[in-house]
Amino acid sequence: MPPRTAVFFHAHPDDEALLTAGTMAMLAAEGHRVVLVVATAGERGLADLGPGEALGETRMKELYQSAAVLGCARVECLGYGDSGLSPKGGVADERPDNAFIDADTEKAATALAEILREEEADLLTIYDPAGGYGHPDHLQVHRVGKRAAEIAGTPIVLEATVNRDPLLRLLRLAGKVYRFPPEFDVRTFESAYAAGETITHRVNVRRYSRQKRAAMAAHVSQATGGDSDRTLAVMLKVPGPLYRLVFGTEWYVRRDLPPGTRVRHPFDPGPK
Ligand SMILES: [Zn+2]
C-alpha cells in the first residue's frame, strides 16, 4: 500500500488517546502520514490547575507528547475556546467568547479544510452524530468535520466511535469491582456512541496498546488532577491484560459503505 495521509480531528487534547490512538500508531508504523488536529486546547478540562489559559498550555504540551508517542508528523490546534460541559451534561452557560460550540460551522470547516487540502488528505476522522458521550464540542466536531471533508473533497470520512454494546457490558461488570463515583451514571452510555450493528470498521490495535496507554498517560493533568471521575482517570486504573482486551479494538462508521459492511483497516475500500 503506498503511503497515504490521515488527518485525525478531535475536540480536546486527550480525545485522541481515548478514541483513535491505536489506529494512529498503526498507520504511522505502516509508513502513512498521520496528522492530529484539535479544535480547542481543552482549557476548561477539570484539573488541579483550575480552568484557564495555563491549563490550555499544559494540555497542549501533553498533546505534543501524546502525538510524539503515536508517530504524528504534524499537530495543529484550530484555536477555539473549550466550551466546557455543564454539570448536568450539555452546554455550559458560562463559556468563552470563542467557544467552539458557538463557532460558525462554515468558518471552522474552512479552516480545517485548508489543512486537509495542504495535506492532500486521503482520510479524515470525525465523531459520530451523538458526539460520543454528548459533549457539545464533540457534536461540533461531527458537524464541522463533515463539512470540511465536503469542502476539501476528502474521499474517506470515518466517524470515530465506540461500540457501545461491549462498553455497556464492561461498565456494568466494572461497577461490581470498582467503585464508580456517584456522578458516574452507566445509563448515560445507553444512547452514547454507536450501536454495534452500525459500525463498519473494527480496527485491531492490540499490537499498539503500549503506545495507546503511553498516549493516555501523557495527559497527566486529566488523569490525576481535580475530580477523579473523568473517563481517563478511570481507564488508566484498568489493569494491563484487561486493558489490552478492552482497548484492543477501535471502531469507526463510514457512512458511504453499505450497512452491514465489516472491514478491519481504515483504508480498506470495502465491498466492490
Ligand atoms: Zn473531548
pLDDT digits (tens, 9 = 90+) for 124-159: 999 999 998 888 999 999 999 999 999 999 999 999
How confident is the model over 254-261, as a mean pLDDT?
92
Asked whether 119 and 7 are in contact (CB, 8 A), the reply is: yes
Q: How far apart are CA 12 and CA 268, in angstroms?
A: 28
Confidence band, pLDDT 50/70/90 cuts, at residue 238: low
pLDDT, residue 223, reads 72
Distance 272 CA to ligand 1 centre (A): 35
Distance, CA of 216 to CA of 23 (rounded, Å): 14
Q: Does the pLDDT at position 228 exceed 50?
A: no
- pTM metric for this prediction: 0.90
Helix (H/G/I), strand (E/B), else coil: 126: strand
Residues near ligand 1 ion, CB 5 Å cutoff: 11-12, 15
Q: What nine digits make up the cell of 46?
A: 477539570
CA neighbor of 247 nearest in space, from 3, 22, 1, 10: 22
Rounded Cα distance between 186 and 105, Å, is: 32
Taking residues 251-272, what's their average pLDDT? 93
What three-state secondary structure class fits 203?
strand
Q: Do 95 and 102 touch, CB atoms closer than 8 A?
A: yes
Distance from Cα 83 to the centre of ligand 1, integer Å: 10
Ligand 1 geometric centre to CA of 77 (Å):
13
Task: Say how far apart CA 91 and CA 44 lie, in whole Å.
Answer: 12
Cα(93) to centroid of ligand 1, in Å?
A: 18
Helix boundaries (H) for the chain:
15-19, 21-29, 53-70, 105-119, 136-152, 164-177, 209-218, 220-224, 231-236, 240-246
Q: Angle at the Cα of 161 (from 139 to 94), degrees rounded to 5?
A: 30
| 38-76 pLDDT tens trace | 999 998 876 655 566 688 899 999 999 999 999 999 999
Calculate how far, in angstroms, residue 270's C-alpha sits from the geometric centre of ligand 1.
29
| Cα 131 to averaged position of ligand 1 atoms, centre (Å) | 9
- Dmax over Cα atoms in the chain, in whole Å? 52
CA of 1 to the centre of ligand 1 (A): 32
